[in-house]
Chains A and B, each alone.
Chain A
Amino acid sequence: MEHTGTLERILRAVALTLVVVFFMFPILWIFLMSFQTNETILRVPPSMVFEPTLANYKALITGKLETNAASIEINFLRNLWNSVFLSVTSVSLALLLGVPAAYAFARHKFKGSEDIAFTLLSFKFAPPLLVLLPLSLYFQKMGLADTYIGLIWVYQLICLPLILWIVRGYFEDISPDIEYAYRIAGHSWFATFRKIALPLAGPGIAAAGLLAFIFAWNNFIFALVLASADKQPVTVGALAFVTASGIQYGQIAAAVVMSITPTLALALYAQRYLVEGLSLGAVKG
C-alpha cells in the first residue's frame, strides 16, 4: 500500500512537471529572448547562457528599430495604448449593455427570449472573416472604417455574447426569493438590481469582464482588416517586426512580454475575486 502510494506520488509529480514545462517553457524562452540580440538568439546550438541586453526594450520604447541594414520607425507604444484603449472601452461598453441584458434574460422570460439570447451567442460561431468582408464595405460607406468607434462596435461581437451568457448564469443562480424579499422590504426593482443582483453576481461579472478583456486584447483579425497602423493593437502591430531585412526575434519577444504583462497582471489580481465565488449561505436549496 505504502509502495503504491509513493509510486503514485512520483508519477503524479512527473506528469505535473511535464505539463508545467510544456506550457511554461515557451513563456520562459520568450522572456529570455527579450533580453538577447538576434545573434545570440539564432546561434546554434542554442544556449541559456548569454549577456543580457535591454536593447530590445529600448528600441520599443524609443520607437527606433536598428537593424543591420537600416533604422526603421516603429510605433509599438502607440499599438500598446490602442490595445489598452480598445479593450477597456469595449469591455466597459459590453458590461454596460450586457449585464442588464443578462439580468433581463435571467429573470424575465418572455416569448422568444431564448431565441434572442441564442442568436446573440451564435455571433461567436461564425468565422470572423465571413462578417468582416461585408462589414468593411459598410464601414467605409458609413465612415466608420479606421475609427475607434467602429472597432469598439465590432469588438462587441467578441465581448457582448461572452458577458451576456456568463453573467446570465450567475443571475440565474441567485434565488429569486432573495430579490423578492428586498422588493417586499419596500425597495424598487431597480434598487433590487443594484443592491442585490449586482453584488451577488459580482464575481461572475468580474470573471466575464476579465475573459472578455483577454479575448478583446488577443483579437487580431478585426483590427487587421478594419483599421490602419495608428489604430491597430499590439497583436497586429507585432507584424511590423517582420522586416525586409529579417525577423527581429529579440524585439518580437520584448513586445510579446510587454503585451502579455497587462493581461497577466489583471488575471493575477482578479484571481482572488474569481475564486471567492458566490456565498449564498443564507439560502437553503
Chain B
Amino acid sequence: MTTVEVSNISKRYGADQVLNDVSLSVASGETLVLFGPSGAGKTVLLRVLSGLVQNDSGAVFIDGQDMCDVEAEHRGIGMAFQNFALFPHMSAFANIASPLDARRDSPEAIKTGVHTVASLLKIDHVLEHAPKALSNGQKQRTALARALVGSPPLLLLDDPLRNVDAKLRFEMRLELPRLLANQGATVIYVTQDYKEAMALGDRIAVLAAGQLVQLGTPADIYLKPANLNIARLFGDPVINVFDVSGRRDEQGVYIELSSVRLRLDESMAACVDKDCVLGIRPESIQFCGSDTAGAIPILIETETPLNEKTVTLALTTGKREILISRPSSTTAPDSGQSHIVINADKALLFDKHSGQRIAADHCV
C-alpha cells in the first residue's frame, strides 16, 4: 500500500515543454488513469515517477518519501511498457523472474513466484519460449507478469494494451481490474483509450500538452468534462457539437437550434450573449413525434447498427450533421423526415473561444 504525490513536476526537452507544472496525488490502493492524446506527456510523467527520466523541477513523493535521490531500481515499483520491452535473449521465465532475481530470492522461491503469476495470466505453458516465439498477447502478458511478480506496492502500466489486437484488449480490459484489485497495489495506468480509462480508473487524470486539465472519477469526466476537447475524447460515437449563442427571455436562458428553443438551466446563465458550443451526447437525443414539445425536425441520412446500439446520422434543417444513438432494441424511423428531442439536462455548453465548459459548478 503506497501513496504517490506528484508536486509541480515540469520537464522540457529542448524547446519542448513536455510537462508543465503537473501536480496530483494518488491514494493508497487506488487506480489512477493518466489519459490524454499522444504527446500529452503521459509516458514522460510515468517515467519521471519511475526515476527513468529526471524532472527539471518539482518533486515526487512515494509513501511520503522524496524520490529525488532514489535510483529507479530502489523505488520498489513494477512497470509494464507499451512496447513490452522484454529481454530478447532470455526466456519468458527469465524475463518474469528478473525482479525476483534482483532481490536474490532462492531458486525455489523464484520458481514458485513465476509459476503463480504465470498461471494467473495463463502463460504457464510458454515460460520456456524466447520472446520472439511468443504471440503479441503472450508478450503482453509476460510483460505484465514481470511487473506483477514481485508484488510491488506501486504499479506503473504504460499503455500495456496498446499493441495487442482489439479482441485481446477487450478481454484484458475485463480481466485487469480484478487482477489489479487482487494485487492491492497502487496503480498508475497510462492509456489513450477512453473505454480503458473508464473501465480501469478509480479516477482519471486528463493530460493535454503537458498540463493536467481535469482530474476526477470516470463519471465526472464523462458527464462534466472540463472542456470541449475532453468531451470529444470521451464517448463513442463522438459528442455532437453545434455553434450556438446563449439568449435570455422572460422565461430564462435558452439557445436556438433549428429555430427550436432549448431551455437551459439557470446555472448556465454565463452563456448569455456569448458565442458558445453546444455539446450533446448522441444518447441524450431521442426520436419523437412532430407534436412533442421542443421537437426538432431532421432528415435521416444513414443508420449504423453496432450490436447493442444503433447510431443514426441525420441532418438538421440547417444542414448540420447530428448523431443519434439509441439501444438497438428500440424502434425508430430509419429514413426520411423525423423529429428528435434533446434532453436539455444532459446538454453541455462550452465557451467557443476558451473551450471551457460553462456551468455554475464550474471547477476542474
Contact = CB atoms under 8 A, between A and B. Distances in A.
Interface stretch (B54-62, B96-104, B293-301, B316-324): B96-104
B154 to A, nearest CB: 11
A143 to B, nearest CB: 45
Contacts of A281: 88, 130-133
Interface in A186-237: 186-189, 191, 196, 199-200
B73 A187 contact: yes
A200 to B, nearest CB: 6
Interface stretch (A2-10, A49-57, A175-183, A252-260): A175-183
Nearest to A177: B85
A191 B81 CA distance: 20
Nearest to A196: B87
A185 to B, nearest CB: 4
A181 B139 contact: no
Nearest to A202: B89
B85 A178 contact: yes
Interface string B130-148: 1111100001000100100
B79 interface: yes
B83 A186 contact: no
B25 interface: no
A184 B87 contact: no
A282 B87 contact: yes
Interface in B62-97: 71-74, 77-79, 81, 83-89
B83 A284 contact: yes
A186 B102 contact: yes
B153 to A, nearest CB: 13
A283 interface: yes
A16 interface: no
B85 to A, nearest CB: 4
A184 B72 contact: yes
A189 B72 CA distance: 10
A280 interface: yes
Q: How large is the interface on B (under 10, 10 to 19, 20 to 34, 35 or more residues)?
A: 20 to 34
A16 to B, nearest CB: 34
B150 A186 contact: yes
Contacts of A196: 87
A56 to B, nearest CB: 47
B163 interface: yes
Contact of B73 (A178, A188, A279): A188
Contacts of B52: 180, 183-184
Contacts of A200: 88-89
Contacts of A280: 88
Contacts of B71: 183, 188-189
B132 A177 contact: no
Most buried by B among A181, A189, A196: A181
A215 to B, nearest CB: 29
A277 to B, nearest CB: 12
B99 A186 contact: yes
- Chain B interface SS verdict (over half): mixed
Interface residues of A, number: 24
B50 interface: yes
B293 to A, nearest CB: 55
Interface in B36-59: 47, 50, 52
Interface string A159-185: 000000000000000010110111111
Contacts of B74: 186
Given A177-B81, A282-B84, A187 B102 contact: yes
Contact of B98 (A175, A185, A199): A185
Contact of A187 (B50, B88, B98): B98
Contact of A177 (B83, B99, B131, B150): B83
B73 A183 contact: yes
A184 B79 contact: yes
A184 B154 CA distance: 12
Contacts of B77: 184
Interface in A238-285: 278-284
Contact of A186 (B84, B103, B130): B103
B73 A175 contact: no
A200 B85 CA distance: 13
A180 B85 contact: yes
B58 to A, nearest CB: 21
Contacts of A187: 73, 98, 101-102
B73 A186 contact: yes
A181 B88 contact: no
A185 B102 contact: yes
Nearest to B52: A180
Nearest to B47: A180
B163 A182 contact: no
Contacts of B79: 180-181, 184
Contact of B131 (A183, A278, A282): A282
Contacts of B47: 180
Given A181-B79, A183-B52, A282 B73 contact: no
13 contacts: A180-B47, A181-B87, A183-B71, A184-B52, A186-B99, A187-B101, A279-B132, A281-B130, A281-B132, A282-B85, A282-B86, A282-B88, A284-B163
Interface of A: 175, 177-178, 180-189, 191, 196, 199-200, 278-284
Q: Which 4 A-B pairs have the closest CB atoms?
A: A281-B132, A186-B102, A282-B131, A282-B86
